[in-house]
């Protein structure tokens, strides 16, 4: 697909919701860890329309949304835009987000997956074990709002899916160093 704005245009009605989700995760981490997080990804924390590719805007494709200041921890905030997804459903992550984490060896990449229906937060630590196992996960192509999308499907009971406390504890340890 050559239209660099296709997905932005498809999801523009959800930008406000996505920005609130990112802000809620940011505030939660800052409060729990007594730290500061900064927005680092293309469009993270805003509903401003940024036309063009991530690269054309000075960002990396698949870059994380948040960075915990004083650490090398990067966080991608994601989750469904529907109330119909529960805690037993698989977690879907865009492949470019995983590929960005694999290509970046200097940062410690995490995903925070937030359910819309109850704001339940889970994490996936995209560490070396996850990166080795990545190819074992199924790539799915569901049709959402009349468009075919692509995700890495991580079963909810995967050893890589954990509660948000795991990330909180990791941040506290990193800040204590």
- Structural domain count, the chain: 1
Any domain includes 166: yes
Any domain includes 132: yes
Structural domain containing residue 154: 6-176
Any domain includes 36: yes
Any domain includes 1: no
Q: Tens place of pLDDT for every residue, the chain, 177 residues?
A: 576 755 555 666 667 788 899 999 999 999 999 999 999 976 677 666 556 656 655 557 678 999 999 999 999 999 998 899 999 999 999 999 999 999 998 999 999 999 999 999 999 999 999 999 999 999 999 988 788 999 999 999 999 999 999 999 999 999 998
Contact, 55 vs 61, CB < 8 A? Answer: yes
Sign of CA dihedral 164, 166, 167, 168: positive
Q: C-alpha angle with apex 30: 91 to 164, nearest 5 degrees?
A: 30
The predicted model scores a pTM of 0.89
Note the Cα 168 to chain centre separation in Å: 16
Residue listed under structure tokens 């192509």 = 141
Q: Can you give the C-alpha Rg of the chain in angstroms?
A: 16
Tokens (6 digits) for 163: 């509660």
Tell me, what CATH number does 16's domain have?
3.40.1350.10
């Amino acid at each position: 697909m050559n239209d660099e704005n296709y997905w932005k245009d498809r999801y523009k009605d959800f930008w406000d919701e996505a920005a609130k989700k990112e802000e809620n995760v940011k505030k939660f981490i800052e409060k729990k860890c007594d730290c500061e997080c900064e927005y680092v990804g293309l469009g993270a924390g805003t509903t401003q329309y940024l036309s063009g590719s991530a690269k054309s805007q000075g960002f990396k494709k698949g870059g994380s949304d948040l960075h915990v200041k004083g650490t090398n921890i990067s966080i991608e905030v994601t989750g469904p835009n529907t109330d119909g997804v529960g805690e037993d459903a698989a977690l879907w992550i865009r492949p470019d987000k995983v590929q960005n984490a694999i290509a970046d060896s200097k940062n410690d990449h995490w995903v925070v997956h937030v359910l819309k229906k109850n704001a339940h937060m889970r994490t996936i630590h995209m560490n070396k074990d996850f990166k080795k196992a990545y190819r074992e996960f199924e790539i799915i192509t569901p049709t959402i709002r009349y468009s075919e999308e692509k995700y890495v499907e991580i079963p909810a009971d995967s050893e890589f899916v954990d509660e948000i406390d795991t990330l909180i504890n990791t941040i506290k340890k990193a800040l204590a160093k």
